[in-house]
Amino acid sequence: MEWTKDDFSISTDKSKIYTAYVHGQLNQTYWAEGIPLEVVERAVKGSLCFGVYRHQQQVGLARVITDEATFAYLCDVFIEEQYRAKGVGKWLMEVILAYPTLQGLRRFMLATRDAHGLYQQYGFGPLTFTDRWMHIHQPDVYKKQ
């Protein structure tokens, strides 16, 4: 699927994703510093991806890991710095949340260190019943490879 607005487009067509570019951008983030290119390639292959483009040049991405029935996890969301504060990230969230196979999910999750205000605008909030949640967390996994 594809959406257009002004000079920008969002597409779920994975063949348009420039994984070397995504790899370079993710390497600059606090959550994926040091991520190997082959991990990015596998992540794209196994996810519902929303590539963001300006005049056919990729300028952002969001991945949703989902069964498209009950659960989704939003991750690796980025917009190139020069296009931030122009409404592109908000439009990306609107497109994701309106996507047909992401309707009626029991749980839609994400993790963020610094964008709570953005995601709260779309209904995300702190975890409830945190005593029920468990995880294996390996923040330095990419540094070990």
Tokens, residue 140: 């330095």
Report the predicted TM-score, pTM, of the whole model to 2 decimal places: 0.90
Question: Which pLDDT value is given to residue 117?
Answer: 85
In single-letter form, the type of residue at position 66 comes to T
Burial tier of 17 (Cβ tally within 10 Å: 0-12, 13-18, 19+): buried
Predicted local confidence at residue 145, as pLDDT: 61
Q: What is the pLDDT at residue 93?
A: 95
> Residue 59: what pLDDT?
96
What is the full per-residue pLDDT of the chain (145 aa) written as tens digits?
999 898 999 999 999 999 999 999 999 888 888 899 999 999 999 999 999 999 989 999 999 999 999 999 999 999 998 998 888 999 999 999 999 999 999 999 999 988 898 899 999 999 889 888 888 888 888 876 6
pLDDT of residue 135: 86
Count other C-beta atoms under 10 Å from residue 102's C-beta: 17
Domains and CATH numbers, the chain: 2-143 (3.40.630.30)
Query: Which pair of structure tokens corresponds to residue 36?
Result: 């190997």
Write down the pLDDT at residue 37: 94
CA geometry: angle 54, 10, 5, nearest 5 deg:
65
Question: In this structure, are residues 50 and 12 in contact, taking their beta carbons and an 8 Å threshold?
Answer: yes
